[in-house]
Structure 1
C-alpha cells in the first residue's frame, strides 16, 4: 500500500482522533482551564509516543507546559523542526455558536469547534503525516523535532526562554509551521511573509471615583469621552496613521512583488463573505491585498469603562480602558514604533486625565526569500495533496516565534497553512474544511518524504 492509499484508508480514524483532541477545552487565557491545558499537553505527548517518536517530553514552564519530541534516525538526511500550539482562544460569546464550541460537529463538509483551524486541526495534520510515514515506511525518512506550546494565544510568554536555553537541542535545517491560511478554497498556499505585532493597553483616570452624571456632568472630565476622542485622532481622512515617524522605515514593495501579489487568484467575493461588512476602507493608494499583507496598521481592539450592566446607571466613570495594536512591516522596529506611539498618545491627551500606558507584547515582521529548494519541494508536495499548484502569499497576521527562530538559527521557515480566511479562527463557529484537512495530511506526508535526499 502506498502513502496516499494508506492515508485515504484512515480518514474516519483521523477525524475521530481530531475530534477527541478538540473536545479538550485548552483555553490558555483563563486560569480555570489550567487542568484542561495540562490535559491538552498530555494528549499531544501521548499521540507523539503512539506515532513512534523516541523522545517525548512535557516541559513545565511558569505558565503552561511545552511538548518536545524528536526522532533522529535518518543519518545524512535533513532535520526539520515542526512548531505548533495546542492552546485555543476563549469560546465566548457562547450564544453565537451553532453547536457547542468543544463538541466538534460536521456540517456541510466542515468540522466546527474551537481549535479546528487555529491550531489543533493543523497540528493534527502533521501528527498524522508523521504517523502515516512511520506505518508505510517503517520509519521517518528525515530527522524530525517537534515543539508544541500551550501559550501561543497569550503571547508565547515561556517559549522563547525555552528556546534560548535549548539552542543546540532545537537546531534544525528548517522550521515548519502550519498556523496560517490558504488563499482560498482549493488554493494551496505557502506563506513567505508576516506582519509584526505590538500590543498595548491604556488606562485613563479622571475623577478619583465614579460620579453622578447629573450632579457633576459638564464640569468634570469624562475619561471615556477623552479616550474615544484620542482614538478618533489617530487616523487621518486617508486612513493613514497620524503617529509622527510611523511610516519612516516602511520598506516599499518592488514592482515585481507588487505585480505578483496583485495577480494572485484573490477573490473579492470571498473576502466580502469572510468579513461580512458592507464595504472596504483602508490606506489610500494601495489595493486591498497590499493593505492586508504589506502595510502597517493601527487598530483599536477593545474599549471599556463605566456602567455596562442591565438598565441605567448614570455615572461619569473614574476610569476608561482600551487595548490596541500596531501591525508592522519590514524595516519597522517594534521598540521604536512603541516609543513613537506612546509619545504621540501622551501628547494628545489633556492634563485633566492621568495616563497609564503599557506595552504588553512586541513582535517583528518577517519576510523570507522563497526561491530555494525547500520551498519548491513544499510547492510540489501541495500539488500532490490538492491537485493544484500552490501559490506564494504573505499574510497580515503575526507569529513572533517564526521571526525569533529565523533570527536565531538563520534557517528557512516554511509556513504551510490549511485554514481559510473565513473559518472564524478567533470567533464563534470556528471550523476547518475537511477537504483541506485530509488533503493537508497527504501533502505534508509527501513534503516530509520529498525532503529526504536519495
Structure 2
C-alpha cells in the first residue's frame, strides 16, 4: 500500500469515532500523580490502558518500578524489526495534575470525556493522553497499511511527569543501553497555531522555589502594634521587586542568558506569538529590546506564582508574623542551573534581605535543552510534516515551558524532536482542559506520514 493509504487509515480512525472512544477510556483513569491517594491508578493506567494496546502492535513491554519512591511506575515497550535499522525512541506521560473537579463548569467532569462542538474535554486530554494516543494510533495505521514499520521503535510511558519526572533520570542512567536509539520523536506541549504543525527541539528549564520571611510567632493587633512591628509582607514585596524592574526585566546578572545568538534570533523571526484562543500579549512587559517570540523562547522569565501573608480568605486587623511567595524561573540554555538559587541568595544578601529563606521545591530543576535548528533530523521532520499538511511547520529551537528533555538529550545523548498535538488555549493545568478535534485529526495524519517516511528513508 501507499503513504496516502496509511494517512487515510489514520483519518478514518478519527472520522469513525474510534479515536474518541479510545481517548475516553484513557481519560477515565484518574491518574493524578500529585494526589497520593491516586497512586494505584498510575500502575492501573499502564496495566489496563497501555500494555495490551502496545502488545497488539508487536511491542515487547515491561513495567518497571520507579527507582525513586516518590515516582510512579514506568513502561518501556520495544518493537525491534531489525537491529540494523534506524531506532526511534518515543515518549508520553499518563499522569495528570490534580483534577480541580469543583472548578470545572457545569456539564463537564475531569475524568469523563465530553464532546462539545470541536472540543473534547477531560483532564489529561491535552497533557498528555491524547498526544501519545495519537502517536500510537498513527503507528497502527502504518502497520495496517504496510505490515511493518521499516524502523525500530522504543516507547517510554512515565507516570510522574507532573511531579517533576521523579526517578526518570536515575532510570535512564540505569537503562541507558536498553534505551539506546538514534533520535527521540515525541509529543507534548502546544502548537503555536492550531492549524499549523509545530516542531520544537528542546525546552526551557524550570526552577521553582519559595521565598519565606518569618519574623515572629503569631500575629499582633495592627492598632496596638502597627508602626512598631516590621511587616513581613511589605519586606518580602520589596525583595521580590528587587529581582525584576517594573516591566519584568530580570535584574540578577546570572539569570540573564548569553545564548540568544543571531542564529537563534533568526529562527524566531516572524513566528506567531498570539492567537485568538489566548490573551493579548502585553507589549510593554518583559525584556525591552526583545521581540515577544524572543522573550518566550530565547530568554528567561521570572514569575511569582502565589503569595500569602496572614489569612487572605478571612483577613483580620493584625500584623502578620510571616509571608511566603512561590516563585519560578523559566530559563534557556546559557543559564547555569546549579547557580540559579546561589545567585539569588547572593542578590538578596546584597540587597539587605538576608533574613529571607530560599526553599527549593522537591520536584527539583528541569534543565534547559536546545537542538540546533539546522540538524538533519529537524529538516527531515519538517519536510515530512510539510508534505502531509501542505504547509511548512513552525520551527522553534525550544519550547517555552519545561519538559524532562534533558534526560533524552544529556543522559541518552539523543537529538530530540517534539511534534506537539495541542494548542495554547487548551486550558492545560487548569479546569476545562480540552483538545481540538480538527487538530487531533490533523495530528493523526501528519504522524502517520512521519512514521511512514521514517520507514522509507533513502
- Residues 151/48 of structure 1: CA separation in 2 closer, same or farther (3 Å cut): same
- Residues 34/409 of structure 1: CA separation in 2 closer, same or farther (3 Å cut): closer
Are 2:228 and 1:219 aligned? yes
Are 2:293 and 1:289 aligned? yes
- Residues 322/237 of structure 1: CA separation in 2 closer, same or farther (3 Å cut): closer
Bigger mean CA deviation after superposition, 94-103 or 63-72: 94-103
**Within 5 Å, which residues of 2 pair with 1:34-45?**
34-45=39-50
Bigger mean CA deviation after superposition, 213-222 or 280-289: 213-222
Aligned residue for 1:262? Answer: 269
Please say if residues 53 and 69 of structure 1, whose CA atoms lie closer than 8 Å, have aligned partners that are also in contact. Answer: no
Aligned residue for 1:200? Answer: 209
- Residues 211/276 of structure 1: CA separation in 2 closer, same or farther (3 Å cut): farther
| C-alpha RMSD over aligned residues | 2.4
By how many angstroms is 1:29 displaced? 0.9
**Secondary structure in 2 aligned to 1:10?**
helix
Aligned residue for 2:439? Answer: 436
Deviation by residue 1:8-58 (Cα, 9 ceiling, x = unmatched): 222211111111101212111111221222322223433444432332112
Aligned residue for 2:359? Answer: 357
By how many angstroms is 1:96 displaced? 4.4
Structure 1 residue runs of 5 or longer lacking an equivalent are none
Deviation by residue 1:362-407 (Cα, 9 ceiling, x = unmatched): 2322221233443233223323443322221244534442123212
Please say if residues 172 and 407 of structure 2, whose CA atoms lie closer than 8 Å, have aligned partners that are also in contact. Answer: no
Please say if residues 88 and 153 of structure 1, whose CA atoms lie closer than 8 Å, have aligned partners that are also in contact. Answer: yes
The number of aligned residues is: 447
Are 2:409 and 1:409 aligned? no
Deviation by residue 1:73-104 (Cα, 9 ceiling, x = unmatched): 23421001101111112232733435222222
**Within 5 Å, which residues of 2 pair with 1:95-114?**
95-98=103-106, 99-114=108-123
**Secondary structure in 1 aligned to 2:396?**
strand
Aligned residue for 2:95? Answer: 87
Are 2:82 and 1:74 aligned? yes
Compute the TM-score of the two structures, normalised by the length of structure 2. Answer: 0.90
By how many angstroms is 1:142 displaced? 1.2
Please say if residues 385 and 440 of structure 1, whose CA atoms lie closer than 8 Å, have aligned partners that are also in contact. Answer: no
**Secondary structure in 1 aligned to 2:201?**
strand
**Secondary structure in 2 aligned to 1:19?**
helix
Cα distance in 2 between the residues matched to 1:42 and 1:322: 40
By how many angstroms is 1:312 displaced? 4.4
**Within 5 Å, which residues of 2 pair with 1:107-146?**
107-146=116-155
Are 2:374 and 1:374 aligned? no
Please say if residues 191 and 420 of structure 2, whose CA atoms lie closer than 8 Å, have aligned partners that are also in contact. Answer: yes
Compute the TM-score of the two structures, normalised by the length of structure 1. Answer: 0.91
Please say if residues 111 and 431 of structure 1, whose CA atoms lie closer than 8 Å, have aligned partners that are also in contact. Answer: yes
Deviation by residue 1:92-145 (Cα, 9 ceiling, x = unmatched): 273343522222212221211111111111111111122222333233321111
Aligned residue for 2:454? Answer: 451
Cα distance in 1 between the residues matched to 2:33 and 2:370: 28
Aligned residue for 2:196? Answer: 187
Please say if residues 267 and 395 of structure 2, whose CA atoms lie closer than 8 Å, have aligned partners that are also in contact. Answer: no
**Secondary structure in 2 aligned to 1:171?**
coil
- Residues 109/342 of structure 1: CA separation in 2 closer, same or farther (3 Å cut): same
**Secondary structure in 2 aligned to 1:57?**
strand
Aligned residue for 2:35? Answer: 30
